[in-house]
Amino acid sequence: MLELDQDCRELDARGLDCPMPLLKAKQALNGMEPREVLKVLATDPGSVRDFASFAELAGHELLFSGEESGVFTHILKKHG
């Protein structure tokens, strides 16, 4: 897993089905400052595709996306 050199916010979206992990992440990012980092935990396998597409379309940087023991971790840096 990626080691972050700065603090990040964490969003636990485990147990939520698509599109809720992404919607919750969008809400969290809206309340953050540019270049802040958000770590999202999800159990929905579709979140991998969703977060990759969202980061590209919205201009955020997807720093990490991976899975361990059925939990998908996505780390985004808000554009700025």
State pLDDT tens for residues 23-69.
Answer: 999 999 999 999 999 999 999 999 999 999 999 999 999 999 999 99
Q: Give the amino acid at 61.
A: E
- Count CA atoms closer than 13 A to 18's CA, side-chain side: 9
Answer yes or no: 8 catalytic.
no
Catalytic residue among 8, 9, 14, 18: 18
- Domains of the chain, by residue range, sit at 8-69
At 51 the three-state DSSP class reads helix
pTM of the model: 0.92
Q: Tell me how far apart the alpha carbons of residues 23 and 60 are, in angstroms, rounded to a whole number.
A: 15
Q: Are 39 and 1 in contact (CB under 8 A)?
A: no
**CATH topology for the 8-69 domain:** Translation Initiation Factor IF3 (3.30.110)
Q: Are 35 and 77 in contact (CB under 8 A)?
A: yes
Record the tokens describing residue 74, joined without a space. Answer: 């996505």
